[in-house]
Amino acid sequence: MKIGGASTRSIWVEPDGWSVGIFDQRRLPWAIERLVLRSVEDAAVAIADMATRGAPLIGAVAAYGLALGLRADPGDEALAITYDRLLATRPTAVNLRWALDRMRRQVMPLAPALRVAHAYAEAARLCDEDVAMNRAIGVAGLPLIEAIAARKGGAPVNILTHCNAGWLATVDWGTATAPLYLAHDAGLPLHIWVDETRPRNQGALTALELAEHGVPHTYIADNAGGLLMQQGRVDMVIVGTDRVTANGDVCNKIGTYLKALAAKAHDIPFVVALPAGTYDPETATGADVEIEKRSPDEIAFTTGRTLAGDQATIALTASPACNPAFDVTPAALVSAYITNVGLIATAGQLTQLA
């Protein structure tokens, strides 16, 4: 996809052949800045501080982070320390553990001298697979949009999304956005309602992506979605997810559950886009998932760009604040799951992803 008019992925190996580049999403959308990761600690801080975001991309950064750790020390003890350091960065997104487990399985049987090259190659394969899976999600989800477009007889299909499940949250294409991009490229009339997604305002990243791709969209306050549904101005809700449990419960950015409830009340399809790595068959229900509690400062302060063009942080309140990063949407509220193996109508069919 494109940012600043240039085509790129969201993660890459730098020209030196070993350090890893990402976009600093703490600066987006006000400034396009790149970070270079040169150590496992760099990767861990980038994940924990949300310089990099989105479950699939977190997995990719962790995979390369493990490769960076092995570059410093390929021994068994160092591998265990590197794995634990990266795993501890964010508790809710299952792709993190999935990617680290995959990397460890690949390198553990090898002699230490062979591990670094193999780790970089495996991380690159993981990224290529992510791109292919996300495009497959787009192909699987496109018929849903085509069906609505056919019913509307040429009027725009209005789709509401929450948080950023776009290419900036994956390696490319995105999960929830992949069907939108394919529909737009196929000439279907679209309009996307983009939730701001407080407190980190990831909706602004979705808006940036859609603007770069030329997809019509409107940025809205998180609490506007219910009114729009009530007024008949939303045809479908599509979100990504950080984890889907064995029973089909969906762990996603805080506020997702409220959108699902409103969609159910107004008989609007609520669909969830996910690649195989986001399905967690080992966790029975959403009640079993540790919900990440982030710093109250993310609520008490906000960051933006001044009229002069500078980035500034201001205080919103001096009151105590509570900041859960995710919520759980019960499977009963999900109309369908859009996956890289096709459209899945019921939670019981998610075992295809295992």
- Give the catalytic positions in this structure: 242
Residue 127: count of CB within 10 angstroms of its CB: 24
The Cα angle at residue 196 between residues 29 and 274, in degrees rounded to 5: 90
Going by C-alpha positions, the residue among 62, 61, 12, 67 that lies closest to residue 34 is: 12
Three-class SS of residue 95? helix
Name the one residue in this structure whose structure tokens are 């609007």.
268
Exposure string over 21-49, b if 16+ CB within 10 A, otherwise e: bbbbbbebbbeeeebebbebbbbbbbbee
- Alpha-carbon span 73 to 67, nearest angstrom: 10
**Tokens found for residue 53:** 């975001």
- Which residues fall within 8 angstroms of residue 324, CB to CB, at 6 or more apart? 254, 291, 292, 293, 294
Handedness of CA 338, 344, 350, 354 (dihedral sign): negative
Residue 201 burial (10 A CB sphere; 0-12, 13-18, 19+): buried
Residue 139: count of CB within 10 angstroms of its CB: 15
**Tokens found for residue 230:** 């009530």
- Alpha-carbon span 251 to 327, nearest angstrom: 6
β-strand 326-329 against 336-339: which pairing, if any? unpaired
Q: How far is CA 16 from CA 38, 114, 123, 250, in A?
A: 11, 19, 17, 40
